Amino acid sequence: MKRLALLFSCSAALVCAADLANVHTVYLLKMAKGLDQFLANRLTSDHVFQIVTDPKLADAVFTDQIGEGFQMKLEEFFPTPESEKPAPPPKPEKTGEEVNPLMGDTVNKLSNPASNSSFGRAKGTVFLVDAKSRQVVWSVYQPAKGGTPKEMDRTANDIVSRLKRQLNPKVK
């Protein structure tokens, strides 16, 4: 599974390199062990991207998970125009039978459990997703060796170094 993730991240980085050049401002979603804070520090200090605190101003979003929860977050930040949204399904007509309120849905039920799920989280993989096209522009598999601030900073430094190499390939 790890080999597949590594293969995917390498191929995604190579295939989408042209789109990566169009990214200038990024928003960082909260990541495991505070990696987003360390990445923000490294990205700004190395002048790779401008970090924005308003996701609506971002060209792309950094995240450590993709999936339904991430899609919902993107929809919250960048709503799909009404013309592109599919029509909602018609509501079923009510019959004369009333359902016992005690047998209905749970009151404290999450509106969508996928928004809090870690199912799409690949430990050690960081994705850069284009805000408009919602395509993964770049990704890397760089797991942290520990949760200490020193290790998280080292991991962020490694990620940013790989990103800089991808943005500025050496001409042979």
pLDDT per residue, tens digit, the chain (172 aa), is 655 555 555 554 444 444 899 999 999 999 999 999 999 999 999 999 999 999 999 999 999 999 999 999 999 998 887 766 666 677 766 665 655 656 665 555 555 555 555 444 558 899 999 999 999 999 999 999 999 999 999 999 999 999 999 998 875 5
pTM of the model: 0.68
Separation between Cα atoms, residue 141 and residue 6, nearest integer Å: 6
Separation between Cα atoms, residue 5 and residue 141, nearest integer Å: 7
> CA-based diameter of the chain, in Å?
77
Q: Which one is the CATH code of 2-80+114-167: 3.30.160, 2.60.290, 1.10.8, 3.40.50?
A: 3.40.50
Residues in CB range of 62: below 8 A, 6 or more apart: 26, 27, 28, 29, 31, 36, 39, 126, 127, 128, 129
57 SS3 class: helix
The enclosing H or E element of 170 equals none
Separation between Cα atoms, residue 150 and residue 136, nearest integer Å: 28
